[in-house]
Structures are given as C-alpha cells and as structure tokens.
Chain A
Amino acid sequence: MIELKNISCFYGKNTVLENINLKIPNHLTILGVNGSGKSTLAKTICDLIDYDGEIFMDEVNLKKLSLKQKAKNISYIPTKLEVYDRFISVDEFVLLGRFSHKESFFSYTKQDEKIRDESIKLLNITHLKNHTLNSLSSGEQQLALIASALSQQSRTIIFDEPTANLDPKNSKIIANHIKELKQNHNIILITHDLHLAQYIDNEIAFIQDKRLLHFQNDFFKESNLFRLYGVKFDGVEPQYD
C-alpha cells in the first residue's frame, strides 16, 4: 500500500500540489484537467521531482530507500518514450528493466534474459525483438515499455496517459493488458480517456484546485462529469457542439 502524507510540489514559485493526503490501497485512477498536476503526482511517487511531505510504501518511507530498491517496487510508464540511443533494440531495452535486480558491474544473467523473453512474449511483441526502439510506432512503444516494466517485476505500475497517442485498436490492446495486469500488480492509471477509466474500473481520484476528490462508483454520472470538467457529457462522451 502506498500512502502520501502532506505532499506539496512546487515549480519555482507555483504550487502544483498542496497538502495531498492519499492512501492507495490496490488500484487507483487519477483524473483531472490539463495542468492539474496528475503527472506531477505520479512523478512524485517515482521520486523524479522534489517534494515536501512523506510517501510511505508498506510503512517504509520512500526517501529511505535506494533508487534500486525503489525500482524494484515501482515502475513508471510514460506517455511517450524519448530515446537518445538510436541503435538500442527492443530486446536490449526490455532487459534494462532487470537493472535493479542485477549485481553492480556484472552482466545480466541467463535468468534475467529468461524473464525478459517471458515479458516480451506476454505482450505479443516477439516479432519486434530485434527492431530498434526508434523504429517502433507509438502503440508498439507502449507495449515495449510495459514489457520493460514487467521484467522489472515491481508490484506497482504507474501508467501516465497510456492511450494519449494511440488509435482505437491500439488503445484496446493496451486497455486489455492493463486490465490483465490488475491481477498481479497494483495499477495506478493517469488518464483523460474516460472510456479507459471506466473499463479499468479502479477507484477514482480527481485532482481539482491542487487537492484530491475521491469517488467510488458515482464518478461517471453526466452531472458529475459536467461539474468537474465544465463540458456537457453524453455518457462519457464530451459534447463538442
């Protein structure tokens, strides 16, 4: 279980999050308008940005863990992957998920390679093994990122707008995978995709005015969506005219 206590985040003088208190039992979907601080919250949990307050994971303060220990517990999947290395293959990339399990200075073991192969197979991207990461489409990149997170074997996986760049078919594939992963992992999902949020069916936290609002099942009511997003909805479909 992840617990956030009095978390505040700042970009220069701007307060993005203020005194957030949150218990994440198993799964959670985080929603909110653009710039409300959804990604900031996720990055705080991953220690990618500085924050005030404390985050506990199973009663252990995250600040007390090394980065490797943290990686064994949490993995983060960004919307889009930026890669400087033009020649790294999917195979090598997914193997890097094993970094936190590897002995320092030594190569990856046979066991690491086996776990990598299983992750790649589970995501049905065996045919992309030898392709370079840069040559993949957005959908394929998401799959490679999920495979890398799986080989990392962390209990919690954070998805940051996984379907933001994807076409309907790829969105469906990713959505199915996320739902499957709920069986063995704790999933934190950040998204604007209300279809996806409804399908994944987690508890929902909505960030508004730097604070969190909690919802169980009543979130997807049209009146509620209108109140939160300021647009009229038909089901979970926003009305453009």
Chain B
Amino acid sequence: MIKFTVWFLLIVVTIASPFFGAVELNLNDVLDSTNLAHKIFFEIRLPRVVFAFFAGVVLSLGGLLFQTLFRNALMTPYTLGVSSGAVLGAGIAIKLGLGGLFLGLSAITVFGFAGAIFTVFLLFYLAYFLKGMGENALLLLGIALSLFYTSALMIVFYMGDAMQNDILIRFTMGSLSVISWQNPIMLGVVATILSCVIYLYRFELQLFSISNEHAILKGVDVKKLTLLLLGVTSFGVGTLVSISGPIGFIGLIIPHIVSKLYTQSINKLIVKTAIFGGMFLVGCDTISRVLNTQSELPIGIITSLIGAPFFIYLIISEKK
C-alpha cells in the first residue's frame, strides 16, 4: 500500500511538474503554439524537468553503485569528495573570471568536470596504498579529501570579490535551472549509458553485495570491474555536478528508501532506484519552484527536508 501511494504521488507530481512555477500554465495555452505559455513550457519548464529527472537518475544510481561496490551504507560520490572536487574546480574558474565557452560548454562546467575527474583519479591512486585496510579506510580518505577541498574553496572565497563570490555561493547551493535543451540532452545520454552499464552487470553487483571474497570465488574479476564501474559513475556524476553544482542527499538516501520499500536483492533494484530517484528529484524541484519565496530555494534544502523525515519514518517503522 505504501509502495502504491508513493509511486502514485511521484508520477502525478512528475506529470504536473512542468505546469507549475513562477507562472502557472494551463494545458490549452500550452498547446497553442502562438501563446507565450507554449514557449515557457517547451523551452524552460520541460528541459528543466527532464534535466532534474536525469540528475536524479545519475545521483541515485551513483549512490547505489558506490554503496554496493564498497558494501558501506554511507558511501556515495558525494561522501568520497567527488562533488567537492567539482565545486573547487568551478570555484577556480569563477575566481579566474573565465566566463567564456569551450566547445559550447561554459568554463565553469569544464573546470567543475575536471575537478570531479581529478578527484576520482586521486582516490584510485591513494586507494592503492590502502590495500587490505578495508572499505572504511577509503571512506575516511574521501572525507579528508572533502575537508581539504572545502578549505581550499574558502581561500578562493577569501580572495574573490563580491560578485564572484555571489556566483560561487549560488553554485555551491546547487541548482537545476537550465536554459535550452543542450544540458538535458547531454545529461540524458550520460544517464542512459550509466543505467545500461549498471544493468548489464547486475549479477556481478549481486555478488559484490555479498562480499568481495565471494565475488572473486564465483568468478568476478573484481579489480577490473570496480575500475570500470567507478569510472563510468564518476564520469556521470562529474558531468552533472559541473552543471548543477552539488546536490546532496539523493545519492545517499534514495537507494536506501527503495531497498526498504522492496526488500529485494540489488539486481532487482537498479531500474526502480533510477526511476524513483529521477521522479523524486523532479518532485523536490517542483516544490522549490512553487514555494512563494523571493527567489527559488536551493534544491539541496528541499531534498533534505523531504527525504530525511521520510527516511527516518522508514527506519523506525521497519518490522523484524
């Protein structure tokens, strides 16, 4: 029953989402191609909803994958410092006053992506020294890296002028507002590739979710596959974060919510987690647009405000 209610709500909100925002649109105006509503709907609202959906897919699958690969409920691209790396990269671009475009992408995006990917390689390199120290060591490493990045970002703030700092603060809060279809389509391609790769390796992941040793014993090339899956996921998360800024909580919480709702093994949760995460973020974004505030509330605030209580409810209502 709770499953049905949750999915029903998510689907309704997702369908209704592009009609709501600073201006409410109705269906007749939207279908009339001479009306302004038509333009708003197809050039502003719909790209944003699509972008939010794929962002949710990438974040929740990224979380599911990191949690499974490292068998740690706290492991996400966010906790490992990948997002902080992207923010620092973007911060440097803003500080240097690079407003121009590279290959149609803004300098902030390019630098943010570089920051995320650099962090992943740094983690790979450092993880080499952690051999035999277990997954918690990597988590600590990621947290240390995040703190280091945050301090480095403080220096960027300290040196920046008021206007640069304003752009930077906006970026660190995370935002799903996109203009035109370019970013939604790009993210859509990335999210589709990520989903397909993870789905193809669903049985390998099921073995991972028992234990590392068990996966090797049953014939999984653990080292190679870990590298491949982390690479693809980091690429997806890097792309997203460099456009939207960091959006916390989704990656951590959605995989847990879906697994608590379904109590199934991981190979059956991949598609559900992706769709649930996508629609959940669309829902949160809708709320941030509808709330009558001076400007849009940063999306991270909404995701935590809705996600955390629901998560707590699921934990305490769990029956043995």
Q: What is A's interface to B at a CB cutoff of 8 Å?
A: 46-48, 66-72, 75-76, 78, 81-89, 92-93, 96-97, 99-100, 102, 105, 107-108, 133, 152
Contacts and interface: CB of A to CB of B under 8 A. Distances in A.
Interface string B221-260: 1000000000000000000000000000000000000010
Q: Which of B211, B259, B265 has the most CB of A within 10 A?
A: B265
30 contacts: A46-B216, A48-B216, A66-B221, A67-B221, A69-B219, A71-B218, A78-B213, A81-B210, A81-B211, A81-B214, A82-B210, A82-B211, A83-B210, A83-B211, A84-B68, A84-B71, A84-B210, A84-B211, A86-B263, A87-B259, A87-B264, A88-B209, A89-B265, A96-B203, A96-B207, A99-B218, A99-B219, A105-B200, A107-B203, A108-B203
Contact of B266 (A66, A85, A93, A108): A85
Contacts of A68: 219
Interface of B: 68, 71, 200-201, 203, 206-207, 209-211, 213-214, 216-221, 259, 262-266
B207 A47 contact: no
Given A82-B211, A105-B200, A88 B206 contact: yes
Contact of B217 (A71, A88, A107, A108): A71
A135 B67 CA distance: 22
Given A84-B71, A96-B206, A105-B200, A67 B220 contact: yes
Given A67-B221, A92-B265, A105-B200, A85 B206 contact: yes
A71 B219 contact: yes
B287 to A, nearest CB: 31
A158 to B, nearest CB: 10
B190 to A, nearest CB: 21
Nearest to A49: B132
Nearest to A92: B265
Contacts of A46: 216-217
Contacts of A107: 203
A48 B213 contact: yes
Contacts of A84: 68, 71, 209-211
B126 to A, nearest CB: 19
Contacts of B263: 86-87
B219 A67 contact: yes
A197 to B, nearest CB: 24
